[in-house]
Amino acid sequence: RQLATNADLVARAVTILEGMNVRVQSAPEVRERLMLTKRAP
């Protein structure tokens, strides 16, 4: 049995939160709200 990836865990959390009528923001929305700039990889 393999461990869940970060993407798997995030997808599960989003599903749970959306089931509770919570709006999950995208990464660009969060960066804008917190006034952050995206760093180059």
Q: What is the pLDDT of residue 7?
A: 96
Q: 1-41: per-residue pLDDT in tens?
A: 999 999 999 999 999 999 999 999 999 999 999 999 888 87
Give the H or E element holding residue 11.
Answer: helix 6-19
Residue 40: predicted pLDDT: 80
Phi/psi at 35 (5° precision): 55, 45
Structural element, H or E, at residue 15 = helix 6-19
pLDDT number for residue 17: 98
Contact call for residues 37 and 31 (beta carbons, < 8 A): yes
Residue 18: predicted pLDDT: 97
